[in-house]
Structure formats: C-alpha cells, structure tokens
Amino acid sequence: MGLFEGKKGLILGVANDHSIAWAIAQQILDGGGECGFTHLPDRPDDERQRNRKRVALLTDQHEAARFLVPMDASNDDDIRAVMSRAGEEFGKIDFLLHSIAFANMDDLKNDTIRTSRDGFKMAMEVSVYSLLAVCNAAQEVLADGASVLTMTYYGGEKAVPGYNVMGICKAALDASMRYLAYDLGPRGIRVNALSAGPVRTLAGRGAGVDDMLQLYDKMAPLGRNITHEEVGRSGAFLLSDMSDGITGEILHVDAGYNMMGSPGRLLEAHRS
C-alpha cells in the first residue's frame, strides 16, 4: 500500500518538469495519492496557452491528477475558485503544497537597498501573503489532521548575496508558516516549510543558481549538491502521515550546507 493511498490534496505552483513542486507531486502520485493542480494563468493574447501546456504535459500522464486550473496567487477570487473545485472533486483534502514565489527581475538583480517600493509590495504579496490567503480559503476543505507545506530557502535565515529581496520574502514566509502552524494546530493541521539547496528550476535561474551550485558542491558536508528526487521525497514525507508530530518546522534538504560555520573543505582546497 502506497504512502498516499486514499489521500487527496492540492499542488500549487508547478511551472514545468524542473519544478520542485513537481518532484514532490510525483512522489505523491506514485504513492497512490490524488492531486489537483494549478498553473500560472496565461495572458489573454497567448493563444498557445504556454503556461497551461507546460504543466498539462506532466499531469496528463497521471490518471490521479484530477484537475488542472489557473490560479493568480494575488487574486482572492481565483484562490476561492480553486478551493471550491477541490471541494467538488475531493470533499476534503489531506495535503496542500504551496510552492509560489515571484519578484521582478529588475529588483532581484539590484542590490537589496535599491529594491523598488512597488516591486517589494508585489514580491511580498505573491511570495508571502499568498500562503496566508491560500490557507484561509482552504479552511473548509482541509481535513482535520491535514498537512500544509511551503517552500523556503536559507536566504531567509542568513544573508545570501544575490538572493536580495527574495531573502526578505522568505524570512517573512518562515514567520508566516509558524503563525499558521499555531492557528491551525487545534484541528491537528500541520504547517511546515522545506528549505531546499540550489537546484536548477525556473525560479533558480533568476537567483543565480549556477554560482550557488558550485559553492554548495565544495562546502556542504556531503560534498555534493542535492537532487530533485531528494527534495521530492522529503517534501512528500512532510505532507504525509509519517510526519504527524511535526509542525512549525523548517526542514533543510541541502546536503548539510546550512549547519556549516566556516567554508570547511572549500578553505582547505584554497590553502592547497
């Protein structure tokens, strides 16, 4: 019997086959779970519906991928419509994955001190407030004992040059996760965050992932980078009943990089 046999839930934020959200979803689908998916809305003038097609290429391969609908994370009507669809399809849901973040490229590329006011507002609304909005709208469809997971990064805990305004967003997301864990705790609903090391994703390209991959490879205790599959398994664990005593936590899946207090073997290599 699969880990997610009889379980139903929502996957918010798959962009393509390199998305961490898809790596987690694959583990759930392979484990017997049923999922509803959202995709970034396509522009009205995009007749090819590129955003939908990229995700549909993945979900169409799985009978247990029950639906795929657009969702603008800054639009409360869109969020409510997704939860209504989930209620129609599943009744109650057992898990919810929030893998949504956005910042203007101009603001990401600028030093943090030069972040524009409008860009800051947008990044915080999409990357942080959307978790609150989604959880609020999902209250009626979330089953008691359900699990909610969001995606964070070490740049919200420590300054990571190049991550800039998104690091501020992740710090706020981490705090939001903890307060949600408190609010939803009386119903047995758990809320956690997964902090993955750098992997090649659509979002990662905007945050200088190639440089980070080289750094982690030399500095992480395991002496390597992580894989999509490793993040997928860890995310599925946090969304499953196997993690039923865990809430308000950040699980780092980064080959141990976050626990280092010095450059470690990178420094040794420099000396030699």
Q: Which of 30, 50, 38 is nearest to 12 (CA)?
A: 38
Of the residues 153, 154, 216, 257, only one is catalytic, namely 153
**How far, in Å, are 85, 127, 168, 215, 216 from residue 257 at the CA level?**
40, 24, 20, 9, 7
Residues 6+ apart with CB under 8 A from 248: 177, 178, 181, 182, 191, 192
- Is 153 noted as a catalytic residue in this protein? yes
CA distance 246 to 73: 27
Structure tokens at 43: 């522009």
Sign of the alpha-carbon torsion through 49, 141, 128, 11: negative
Q: What is the dihedral of CA 219, 246, 83, 119, to 10 degrees?
A: -40
Within 92-196, residue ranges assigned H as helices are 105-109, 117-124, 130-137, 165-184
Task: Out of 154, 163, 216, 257, pick the active-site residue.
Answer: 163
Active site residue 179: no
Tokens of 206: 């905007």
CA atoms of 107 and 163, how far apart (whole Å) = 10
Q: How many CB atoms lie within 10 A of CB 89?
A: 15
Place of tokens 């047995």: 188
Which of the residues are catalytic?
Answer: 153, 163
